[in-house]
C-alpha cells in the first residue's frame, strides 16, 4: 500500500463528465490498494467567470475580497468531486484549504505556505476515506482566507505530499508528460520517462507549462517524487525526481524556447563602478524581470551592455533607462523586439564538453546568427531572430538525438491556476 | 449612532445592478451615522444552480458535501457585495459563517445555532468597517461547515443582532412590509406599521412568507426588534416587536390563509384512554405535521375525530391510519382535499369578546359553511371549502376595518433560503 497525492487541474474537472471520469480514476487507485489524497482546482471557466463578476462591481477589487471570492471555485470542485466518489459507493471527505491545515503568510493573492498541520487529512485517511483538498488556498494565523497565487494548486499538492510523507505526488493534466520539446513544433518530440528537478526547472516554461516552477522548487527542496501524466489516458507519465538514470548518449534532455524576448542595449556608458547596480536596481524597482545580461569590453572608458526582458515589459524598461540619463550619461539606447530565446537543457552537459559549441554550430548551419548567449551548468541559451525559431528547434532536436518515431502527444495547452 | 443589522435576501442581490443598489443602500445608512452589519443570502438562482450540478453527479448527495457546496453561494455574495461597497469608497470586510463566529450543532442541512462568538464582527466594526456576514451557515466544534436549513439567512440576521446587541435588525425583501392580508387577493390590503411577535408568528405563512417563523421565534426570545422593508424603495416597513400600540378600533391585525389543507376523519373509534396518543404518535413518527384536531362527542362508547394536514401529506397520513386498523379498530376513515384555512389574527382579540362570533357570521353570510374551527388567544381559524376563499378573505378584511384606499403593494413572492 502506498500513499498517493493526486492533483487534477481545472481542465481535468471542466464539466460533469470529466468530474465523473476523475472520480473513477481515484476509485481505481484505491482498488489497487492505495490511500488517496486528492487536490483539485476550480472547474474549467469558474475562475474567469468569478473574475468577470467581480470586475462588473469593482474594476479594482480589494485583494482580500478577491481571495474570499476565488476560493469558492475550489470549494465547489471538492464538494462535487466528493459527491461523484460517493456515487461510486466510496467514502470521501472534502476539505477546504483551512480545514486541511494550510497556513500562509498574511498576504492576499499570492501568499506563501508557512506551515501545514495535516492532522485532519491523516485522521480522515485512517478512517479509510478518500480525502479531497481544495487547491490554491490557505488561511492566515488570524483566520483570513488566502490564495497561493501562481502555480497554486500544484504547490498545494506538492506541499501536502511533503507534509503527509506521500510516496508519490501525481500531477494529472491534459498532456501525457514532459516532452523533449514542444510537440506543436516538433512532431517527433519524445515523452521523457524521467527528468531531474533541475532540468525540470529549466524546462518549466517549455510547451504547455505543464508544471509551475514554484511547485518544482518545493518538490526539489522536500524531495517529493512527482509524476506528470494525463487524466485522459493510462499512459505512463514523466517522473520528476532528484537522480535520473542518464540514457546512453542522451546529453540534452529537452529543448525549450521563449517567443517573447526583447533586447535592450545601452551604448557608450561611462565605465565607473556601480553602473550595472544602478541600472538593474532601477529596473528591479519597476518590477521588470531581466533575463540575460551581456557586457561588452570597455573602449576609451566607455562600455556597451545589453539585456533581455519580456516583450511586454520592453517599453517600461526603455522608460526607466531614459529616466536614468541625467544621472548616468550614455550615448544611445536601442531595442530589438522580434527575438526569441532557444535553450538546450540536460544534466549530462556538465560531463560532456562541447555541447554548447555543437549548439552554436547547428544554429549557424541554419543561417541564423546568434545575438546573445547565456550558460549554466545544465543549460545553454541563445537569443536569435524570431523568423527561424521552428527550424532551429527542429534541427537541435535532431542533432541531440531526441527525435522519436512515435507521435504520442495528446491535447492542447492547459488552463491552470 | 445606532448599530444596525441589515439582511438582504437572494432576490435583493440577484444580479450586478441589484448588488450595486444594495451597496448604495448600506452606504447611505452609514452616512446617517450608523454602524452596519450586513447579512446576505446567495444571489438569485445560485442555490438552484448548485443543486442542479450536484444532482448530475449524485442523485442522493451526502448532506455534509451539500453543505460544503451550498455555503459557496453566500461566500460569493459577501465577497461581491464587499467589492461593491469598496467601489463606493467605503471599507467593508466580508466574513463567512465560521469567521463570524457561528457555532452550530453537528448536523448537516438543518443545523441549529448553539453559540455565536462575535468578537471578529465587533473588532471589524470598531475599526469602522462595514461588516458583511454570510447568511445560512456556521461551523461545528470540530470545524465542519454546516447550513442552518429553513429560514436560514433570516435566522442568521436575528441571531447576530441578538449577539452584538444591535438596536434594530432590518429584513430587506421585495415587499414593503407585512400586510393585513395577501395583496394579491385583497387589493386594498394595508401595510401594518407594527405588529407583535406573536401576531407575526401566526401570520408567518401569510402572503409571500416574508419572514420565517424560526427567525420570529428567535427574535421574540431574544427581544430583537425587527423591521421588514423593501430593498427597492424607501417606504417605511413594518416593525415587529414585543409591545405594539393597538390602534383605535383595530382588533384584528391581519387575515391569513392556507390553500393546501386536507381533512382526515376517523369514524367510530373505540373511546379508550390513549387512543389519540396512539394515532398522533404514529403520524409524528412518519414526520407528518398535523394542524387542527377536533374530537366530537362520544356515542355508544365510540368517538369520531378529525384532523387537518397539508395536501401533500394527506396520502401518507391515510396510509398510516390504515396501518393502525389492526391495533385500533375503527368503522371508517374519510378524507376531504379541497379545503382551505382562513385565520384572523390580532393581539386585541383577548380583550374583545365576540370577535370569533363575528367571523363565523361573516363567513356564513357568504353562504359558506365552516367545517372546523380552532382558536388561540390571538387567533381564530376556520376550515372552509376552497371555492370561496377569496370572497371570504375580502369580506373579513372589510368587516374588521382593514381596508385602505392606498394600494402600495410592490413586487411578487420572494425566493428565499
What residues in A contact B76, CB-CB < 8 Å? 50, 53, 69, 72
- What pLDDT was estimated at residue B153? 93
**B15, B80 in Cβ contact below 8 A?**
no
- What pLDDT was estimated at residue B187? 87
- The C-alpha of B37 sits at a distance from chain A's nearest C-alpha, in angstroms, of 16
With cell 555541447, the residue in question is A355
CB contact under 8 A, B80 and A53: yes
**Neighbour count for residue A407 (Cβ, 10 Å):** 11
Pair type for strands B332-345 and B379-385: antiparallel
| Strand arrangement of the beta sheet that strand A102-104 belongs to | A113-116, A102-104, A137-139, A145-147
Picking from A50, A57, A87, the nearest residue to B57 by CB comes out as A87
What average pLDDT does this structure show over A173-184?
Answer: 87
- What pLDDT was estimated at residue B32? 96
Nearest CA in chain A to B18: A57
**A145, A99 in Cβ contact below 8 A?**
no
Q: What is the DSSP letter of B23?
A: H
CB contact under 8 A, A72 and B72: yes
What residues in A contact B93, CB-CB < 8 Å? 64
CB contact under 8 A, B83 and A16: no
Q: What is the pLDDT of residues A365-405, one digit of tens each?
A: 999 999 899 888 888 999 999 888 999 999 999 999 888 76
By 3-state DSSP, what share of chain B in percent is helix, strand and coil, each rounded to 5? 35, 25, 40
Alpha helix stretches (DSSP H) within B324-388: 355-365
Going by pLDDT thresholds of 50, 70 and 90, the confidence category of residue B79 is very high
**Nearest-angstrom CA–CA distance, B320 and A405:** 74
Picking from A79, A84, A86, the nearest residue to B68 by CB comes out as A79
ipTM of the predicted structure?
A: 0.82
Going by pLDDT thresholds of 50, 70 and 90, the confidence category of residue B297 is confident
Going by pLDDT thresholds of 50, 70 and 90, the confidence category of residue A227 is very high
pLDDT at A272 over 60: yes
Going by pLDDT thresholds of 50, 70 and 90, the confidence category of residue A416 is very low
* Domain at A3-246, CATH class: alpha beta
Terminal C-alpha separation, chain A: 31
- What pLDDT was estimated at residue B411? 38
- 3-class DSSP state for residue B190? coil
Q: Which three cell numbers stand for residue A70?
A: 476565488
Q: What is the pLDDT of residues B29-49, one digit of tens each?
A: 999 999 999 999 999 889 899
pLDDT at B406 over 70: no
pLDDT at A54 over 50: yes
Q: What is the pLDDT of residues B355-402, one digit of tens each?
A: 888 999 999 999 999 989 988 888 899 999 988 899 999 999 999 988
What average pLDDT does this structure show over A19-44?
Answer: 96
- Between helix B46-57 and helix B63-87 the angle, nearest 10°, is 150
Picking from A57, A92, A143, the nearest residue to B87 by CB comes out as A57
**Nearest-angstrom CA–CA distance, A413 and B303:** 78
* CA distances to A202, A346, B274 from A343, in Å: 9, 10, 90
What average pLDDT does this structure show over B75-88?
Answer: 98
**How many beta-carbon contacts under 8 Å exist across A and B?**
110
- The C-alpha of B415 sits at a distance from chain A's nearest C-alpha, in angstroms, of 22
**Nearest-angstrom CA–CA distance, B158 and B401:** 32
| A295-309, A352-366, B217-231, B257-271: the lowest-pLDDT one | A295-309
- Between helix B389-399 and helix B355-365 the angle, nearest 10°, is 140
- What pLDDT was estimated at residue A245? 63
- What pLDDT was estimated at residue A208? 44
Nearest CA in chain A to B49: A76
- The C-alpha of A20 sits at a distance from chain B's nearest C-alpha, in angstroms, of 7
**B355, B251 in Cβ contact below 8 A?**
yes
For B199-227, give one letter per residue: b (16+ CB within 10 A) or e: bbbbbbebbbebbbbbbbbbbbeeebbbb
Q: What is the pLDDT of residues B111-167, one digit of tens each?
A: 999 999 999 999 999 999 999 999 999 999 999 999 997 678 999 999 999 999 999
Q: Which three cell numbers stand for residue A71?
A: 476560493
Q: Which residues contact A62 (CB under 8 A, 6 or more apart)?
A: A108, B82, B83, B86
* H or E element, residue B66: helix B63-87
Average pLDDT, chain A: 89
**B226, B269 in Cβ contact below 8 A?**
no
Picking from B56, B69, B99, the nearest residue to A16 by CB comes out as B56
Q: Which residues contact B285 (CB under 8 A, 6 or more apart)?
A: none
- What pLDDT was estimated at residue A209? 64
- What pLDDT was estimated at residue A90? 97
Look at residues B8, B216, B214 and name the one whose alpha carbon lies nearest to residue B111. Answer: B214
Nearest CA in chain A to B57: A84
Which residues 189-208 of A have a C-beta within 8 angstroms of B? none
Going by pLDDT thresholds of 50, 70 and 90, the confidence category of residue A407 is very low
What residues in A contact B56, CB-CB < 8 Å? 16
Q: What is the pLDDT of residues A59-81, one digit of tens each?
A: 999 999 999 999 999 999 999 99
B55 touches chain A (CB under 8 A): no
Q: Which three cell numbers stand for residue A190?
A: 519524445
Picking from B68, B75, B86, the nearest residue to A58 by CB comes out as B86
- Name the superfamily (CATH) of residues B255-399: VC0802-like (3.30.2130.10)
Q: Which residues contact B44 (CB under 8 A, 6 or more apart)?
A: B10, B11, B13, B14, B15, B415
The CATH number for B3-245, chosen from 3.40.1160.10, 3.40.50.720, 3.40.640.10, 3.40.50.150, is 3.40.1160.10
Picking from A53, A54, A75, the nearest residue to B68 by CB comes out as A75
With cell 474537472, the residue in question is A13
What residues in A contact B45, CB-CB < 8 Å? none
CB contact under 8 A, B54 and A80: yes
CB contact under 8 A, B143 and A99: yes
CA A219 to chain centre: 12
Higher pLDDT, A75 or B232: A75
- 3-class DSSP state for residue B187? coil
- The C-alpha of A170 sits at a distance from chain B's nearest C-alpha, in angstroms, of 24
Phi, psi of B299, rounded to the nearest 5 degrees: -130, 125
Q: What is the pLDDT of residues A116-157, one digit of tens each?
A: 999 999 999 999 999 999 999 999 999 999 999 767 899 999
CB contact under 8 A, B82 and A75: no
Look at residues B123, B106, B68, B47 and name the one whose alpha carbon lies nearest to residue A71. Answer: B68
- 3-class DSSP state for residue B227? strand
Picking from A58, A72, A86, the nearest residue to B58 by CB comes out as A86
- What pLDDT was estimated at residue B207? 44
* H or E element, residue B382: strand B379-385
**Nearest-angstrom CA–CA distance, A185 and A393:** 8
A75 touches chain B (CB under 8 A): yes
Alpha helix stretches (DSSP H) within B90-166: 119-126, 152-163
- The C-alpha of A172 sits at a distance from chain B's nearest C-alpha, in angstroms, of 21
* CA distances to A269, A355, B25 from A298, in Å: 9, 29, 68
pLDDT at B344 over 70: yes
Average pLDDT, chain B: 89
Look at residues B121, B122, B128 and name the one whose alpha carbon lies nearest to residue B90. Answer: B128
- The C-alpha of A94 sits at a distance from chain B's nearest C-alpha, in angstroms, of 7
Residue spans per domain, chain B: 3-245, 255-399
- What pLDDT was estimated at residue A405? 63
Look at residues B333, B403, B394 and name the one whose alpha carbon lies nearest to residue B368. Answer: B394
Amino acid at each position: 500500500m502506498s500513499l498517493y497525492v493526486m492533483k487534477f487541474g481545472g481542465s481535468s474537472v471542466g464539466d460533469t463528465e470529466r468530474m465523473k471520469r476523475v472520480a473513477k480514476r481515484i476509485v481505481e487507485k484505491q482498488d489497487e490498494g492505495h490511500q488517496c489524497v486528492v487536490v483539485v482546482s476550480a472547474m474549467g471557466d469558474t475562475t474567469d467567470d468569478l473574475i468577470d463578476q467581480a470586475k462588473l462591481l469593482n474594476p479594482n477589487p480589494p485583494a482580500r475580497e478577491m481571495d474570499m471570492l476565488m476560493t469558492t471555485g475550489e470549494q465547489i470542485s471538492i464538494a462535487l468531486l466528493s459527491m461523484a466518489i460517493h456515487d461510486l459507493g466510496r467514502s470521501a471527505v472534502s476539505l477546504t484549504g483551512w480545514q486541511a491545515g494550510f497556513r500562509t503568510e498574511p498576504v492576499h493573492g499570492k501568499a506563501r505556505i508557512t506551515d501545514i498541520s495535516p492532522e485532519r487529512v491523516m485522521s480522515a485517511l485512517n478512517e479509510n476515506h478518500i480525502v479531497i483538498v481544495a487547491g490554491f488556498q490557505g488561511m492566515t494565523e488570524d483566520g483570513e482566507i488566502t490564495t497561493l497565487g501562481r502555480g497554486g494548486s500544484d504547490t498545494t499538492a506538492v506541499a501536502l505530499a511533503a507534509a503527509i510523507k506521500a510516496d508519490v505526488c501525481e500531477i494529472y493534466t491534459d498532456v501525457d508528460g514532459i516532452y523533449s520539446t514542444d510537440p506543436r513544433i516538433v512532431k517527433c518530440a519524445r515523452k521523457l520517462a524521467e527528468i531531474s528537478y533541475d532540468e525540470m526547472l529549466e524546462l518549466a516554461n517549455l510547451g504547455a507549462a505543464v508544471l509551475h516552477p514554484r511547485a518544482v522548487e518545493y518538490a526539489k527542496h522536500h524531495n517529493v517524487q512527482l509524476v506528470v501524466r494525463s487524466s485522459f489516458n493510462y499512459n505512463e507519465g514523466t517522473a520528476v525526481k532528484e537522480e535520473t538514470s542518464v540514457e546512453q548518449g542522451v546529453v540534452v534532455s529537452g529543448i525549450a524556447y521563449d517567443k517573447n524576448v526583447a533586447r535592450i542595449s545601452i551604448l557608450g556608458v561611462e565605465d565607473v563602478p556601480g553602473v550595472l547596480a544602478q541600472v538593474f536596481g532601477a529596473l528591479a524597482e519597476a518590477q521588470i524581470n531581466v533575463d540575460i545580461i551581456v557586457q561588452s569590453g570597455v573602449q576609451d572608458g566607455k562600455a556597451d551592455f545589453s539585456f533581455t526582458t519580456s516583450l511586454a515589459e520592453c517599453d517600461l524598461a526603455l522608460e526607466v533607462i531614459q529616466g536614468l540619463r541625467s544621472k548616468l550619461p550614455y550615448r544611445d539606447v536601442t531595442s530589438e523586439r522580434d527575438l526569441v530565446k532557444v535553450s538546450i537543457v540536460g544534466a549530462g552537459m556538465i560531463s560532456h564538453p562541447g555541447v554548447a559549441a555543437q549548439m552554436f554550430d547547428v544554429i549557424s548551419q541554419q543561417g541564423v546568427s546568434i545575438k546573445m548567449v547565456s550558460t549554466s551548468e545544465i543549460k545553454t541559451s541563445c537569443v536569435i531572430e524570431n523568423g527561424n525559431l521552428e527550424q532551429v528547434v527542429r534541427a537541435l532536436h535532431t542533432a541531440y538525438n531526441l527525435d522519436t518515431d512515435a507521435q504520442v502527444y495528446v491535447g492542447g495547452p492547459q488552463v491552470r491556476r
